[in-house]
């Protein structure tokens, strides 16, 4: 039983749980909401205090802090609480600027993306809880394989870009298709994350693991939100051509 989300894969590899108080679904929900509130506050603060001279430094700093904090939060149950909060704050800065850029291209894009992301989350939770979608070992293997392929593609794309390789212009139709695929994949990743959260609760894991589960869900939800924003921008450009 392995998850496509690296956060939950880390939890999986833990040798044992030291339980003082057991994890619960309510605790996971509360902590996930708390992390998003922290991200929203952080993003608002960054947008209201940033200047043209500090935007670049803020984004680079936020990216580095987010990368380091998510690595620590997903590998240490003792440090999961503080570093989950640090990750949420750093990610909030990034999401704040990404959202503003999307709004500049398409007014109303942020609200649309938020509603769409919440709708996808709700639908996938219903499909999972009703067992309409069953998380089987084969399903997990397929999802992991696709995830590794996607990560490998982006790594190669980034390396080639660094060395000055130019890529042919992608058609709007292909760009839309890729974006839709990534959104669907993110939605399916949620079912694996729900399954992992269920395993944590039903196994009687320590309550501190709620932070690791919550930050894992946050990673997937942010994936979906950003991909929806990208799709909105692509569709807007397609309609204006």
Pick the closest to residue 43 from 84, 86, 95 (CA basis). 95
pLDDT in tens, 176-217: 898 999 999 999 999 988 988 998 898 888 888 999 889 989
pTM of the predicted model as reported, rounded to 2 decimal places: 0.83
Q: Which residues pair with 138 in a beta bridge?
A: none
Q: Any idea how long the chain is?
A: 241
Lookup: tokens for 1: 């039983």
d(CA 38, CA 41): 5
Which string of DSSP letters, residue by residue, matches 75-98? T-TTTHHHHHHHHHHHHHHHHHHH
pLDDT band at 1 (very low <50, low <70, confident <90, very high): very low
pLDDT digits (tens, 9 = 90+) for 68-99: 999 899 888 889 999 999 999 999 999 999 99
Burial of 34 (0-12, 13-18, 19+ CB in 10 A): middle
3-state class of 116 per DSSP?
helix
Q: Which residues pair with 206 in a beta bridge?
A: 22
And the tokens for 18? 């030291």
Q: What residues contact residue 56 under an 8 Å CB cut-off, 6+ apart? A: none
pLDDT of residue 170: 66
| Structure-block tokens of residue 174 | 């292909």
């Amino acid at each position: 039983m392995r998850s496509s989300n690296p956060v939950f894969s880390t939890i999986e590899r833990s040798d044992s749980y030291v339980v003082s108080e057991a994890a619960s679904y309510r605790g996971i929900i509360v902590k996930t909401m708390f992390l998003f509130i922290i991200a929203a506050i952080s993003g608002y603060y960054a947008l209201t205090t940033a200047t043209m001279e500090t935007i670049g430094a803020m984004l680079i700093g936020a990216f580095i802090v987010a990368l380091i904090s998510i690595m620590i939060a997903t590998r240490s149950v003792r440090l999961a609480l503080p570093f989950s909060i640090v990750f949420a704050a750093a990610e909030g800065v990034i999401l704040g600027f990404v959202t503003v850029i999307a709004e500049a291209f398409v007014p109303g894009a942020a609200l649309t993306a938020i509603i769409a992301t919440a709708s996808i989350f709700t639908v996938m939770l219903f499909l999972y809880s009703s067992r309409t979608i069953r998380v089987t070992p084969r399903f997990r293997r397929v999802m992991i394989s696709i995830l590794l392929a996607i990560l490998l593609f982006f790594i190669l794309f980034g390396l080639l870009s660094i060395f000055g390789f130019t890529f042919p212009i992608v058609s709007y139709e292909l760009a839309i298709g890729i974006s839709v695929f990534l959104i669907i994949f993110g939605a399916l990743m949620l079912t694996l994350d729900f399954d992992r959260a269920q395993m944590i609760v039903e196994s009687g894991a320590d309550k501190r693991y709620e932070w690791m589960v919550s930050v894992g869900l946050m990673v997937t939800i942010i994936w979906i939100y950003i991909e929806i924003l990208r799709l909105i921008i692509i569709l807007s450009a397609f309609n204006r051509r």
